[in-house]
Structure 1
Amino acid sequence: MKNILIIDGARNATFSVFQATEDEFAIVFPNGQDMETIGDLIERLGDDQAGRLLAPLWERPILKRDAMGIHGTLFFDNERNQRIIPSSKREIDWDDSSINQAQRNLFSRHR
């Protein structure tokens, strides 16, 4: 199972973690992505298929303290996040001005 962190603009800001199967994860995050927006997912799959894909995930929450890593982030606050996430939708491609030197060093080893 892979863990997906949900980032949304809700007032409760729980930023909950849900588990996805390998196949589900590959559909949400194709081509080596580890970030996706719900708007782009729906655009790619269609509203009905995206709903069917995500329905089982919502039945698999996991406590952050029990998660053995975060494998992907799904953003629900599209308008804001679409402007800030890298176009590649990969964590290692953040703009250098958005991260500290230790992150730049780490990411440069994994590009």
Structure 2
Amino acid sequence: MKNIQVIDGAQNCVYDIFAIDEEGFALIFPEGQDVAFIDEVEARHPFQLLGPVFERLWRQRVPKREANGIHGLLFFELEEKKPFYPDRTDENAINPNGSRLRGE
């Protein structure tokens, strides 16, 4: 199982973590990526394929104190975050000027 932290644009977003099997994770996050935006996920796969994956995901919330790592970030409604993750990996996040967000 892998853990996905969900971040959305709602004022009251609580950044919940959900568990998903490897197959579901692979549908949300292409190989080598650990950051996803819901509109891009939906553009890659038909609803018939994604619907069951998200049904499983939403049923498996993991309390943060029990989470053993976060394997992916899934953004909802936050288009403005896309430029910070050009290769859709958290480790390579960049600032608006293109410099790395994290020091070397």
Q: Give the TM-score, by structure 2 length.
A: 0.86
- Equivalent residue for 1:15? 15
CA–CA distance in 2 between the matches of 1:44 and 1:4? 18
SS at match of 2:88: coil
Provide the rounded CA distance (Å) in 2 between the counterparts of 1:17 and 1:28: 15
Q: Superposed, which structure 2 residues align to 1:6-85 within 5 Å?
A: 6-82=6-82, 84-85=83-84
Amino acid at match of 1:80: E
Cα distance in 2 between the residues matched to 1:43 and 1:78: 16
State whether residues 4 and 74 of structure 1, in contact with CA within 8 Å, keep that contact through their aligned partners in structure 2.
yes
TM-score (normalised: structure 1): 0.81
Structure 1: runs of 5 or more not aligned: 106-111
For 1:104 and 1:92, how far apart are their aligned partners in 2? 10
Shift of 1:80: 2.1
Spell out structure 1 runs of 4+ moving beyond 3 A. none
Greater helix content: 1
Q: CA RMSD in A?
A: 1.6
